[in-house]
Amino acid sequence: MKEFSYLKKIKIDNDIEVPFISSKLLEKYSDRIAFGFSTRLGGVSTGHLESMNLSFHRNDDPACVYENHRRFAAAVGYDEKKTVFSDQVHKDHIRKCTEEDTGKGIIKENDITETDGLITNIKELPLMTFYADCVPLLFYAPDKNVIASVHSGWKGTAKKIGPKTAGIFRDDYGCDISKLICFIGPSICKDCYEISSDVAEQFYDMAEYDISAEKEIYNDSIDKYDLKNVHVDEYKSNKTCIDGSGKSYDDSDKTDSWSGKTDDGSNTTCDELYKTRDVTDDSSSITDNELIKYDPENIKDILTYSGNDKYHLSLQKAIRKTLIEAGMKEENIEISGICTACNDKLLFSHRKTNGLRGNLAAVIMLR
């Protein structure tokens, strides 16, 4: 049997390669759903937005953004003109999408406001949420054929937007939560995600130990012990990571639909502008084996004190814990183990670039 590869590379328009991230669990249902998590490769945007920026709100040329959507959709297998966009504000509102939402955000004005999650049982209706470090959640209920795309930053995770989504699957669509599938996609890892105490307090109840006692152990051990043997130092690893700034950020995409006009106001089409434009990156240079990955099972604790009133947080394991508590089975939850900050050549990361970046997107659609 061929070994599963997270990084898919699809040729479109004969010679344009568009890579995206897949899911081992969801791929089992590829005859029923189309899905993917974009990379920063395979598009036409330039500069710090190079090249697959999918946000209309990063000061990019709207025609470039639309062409990027066309390419990503062609690679994953959906009609970009039907895509429904979220309006992310780091809350826990989830919208039940219908045919009336078709194209909102991409070709129509979007009246979907303050919404971090989208759910539907309508076929051929792609649901899209946006990222640059926060956690993408792609859900599929095989028993009732229902999907959801959910954005979970630290605020959404603390508000338990994942379990709330699972509840909607159960209560509004009659799904069996024990059969529900969830892919926790590429996002900032624990090593790279340093947070302040006010954020950490929101996750004390998810910690596997008394965090206050752990702080005392850490402070007492600084002058007495080799920190390599101290439990609270387990978040350090041998892979290259960044120093977290602790700053808050917004990877939402308050999206205006593209009007079909260039900056000078003239009407044009993507084919006219970009059909012959060269790809602005070398996506063939990155392989699945070269992805910097972490093993979620090697992360002992969701929250770890790291000194100076700072902590490191695993949003992915926090989400998985709350989903299991909501009734999902652990074997139906997949954590990609791909960090946006560690893989900044492949993915956009707000923290790694101090906000100078484009937006990634997660999409899922019923065939």
Tens of pLDDT, residue by residue, the chain (367 residues):
567 899 999 999 989 999 999 999 999 999 999 999 999 999 999 999 999 999 999 999 999 999 999 999 999 999 999 999 999 999 999 999 999 999 999 999 999 999 999 999 999 999 999 999 999 999 999 999 999 999 999 999 999 999 999 999 999 999 999 999 999 999 999 999 999 999 999 999 988 766 665 666 555 554 443 333 333 333 334 343 333 333 444 454 454 444 443 333 334 333 443 433 444 445 456 788 889 999 999 998 999 999 999 999 999 999 999 999 999 999 999 999 999 999 999 999 999 999 999 999 999 999 9
Angle at 21 between CA 16 and CA 27, to 5 degrees: 110
Q: What is the pLDDT of residue 233?
A: 35
For the chain, the C-alpha Rg in angstroms (whole number) is 20
Quick count: other Cβ atoms within 10 Å of Cβ 339?
Answer: 28
Backbone angles phi, psi at 267, to 5 degrees: -75, 145
The pTM (predicted TM-score) of the whole model is 0.86
Query: Which parts of 42-101 are beta strand (E)?
Result: 84-85, 94-96
Q: Would you put residue 75 in left (φ > 0), alpha (ψ -120 to 50) or beta?
A: alpha
Q: Report DSSP state, residue 104.
A: B
Q: Which residues contact 201 (CB under 8 A, 6 or more apart)?
A: none
What secondary structure, in 3-state letters, does 316-327 show? HHHHHHHHHHCC
Alpha carbon distances (Å) from 43 to 51, 70, 75, 257: 5, 9, 11, 18
Quick count: other Cβ atoms within 10 Å of Cβ 247?
Answer: 11
Q: What is the pLDDT of residue 41?
A: 97
Q: What is the pLDDT of residue 209?
A: 66
Q: What is the pLDDT of residue 216?
A: 60
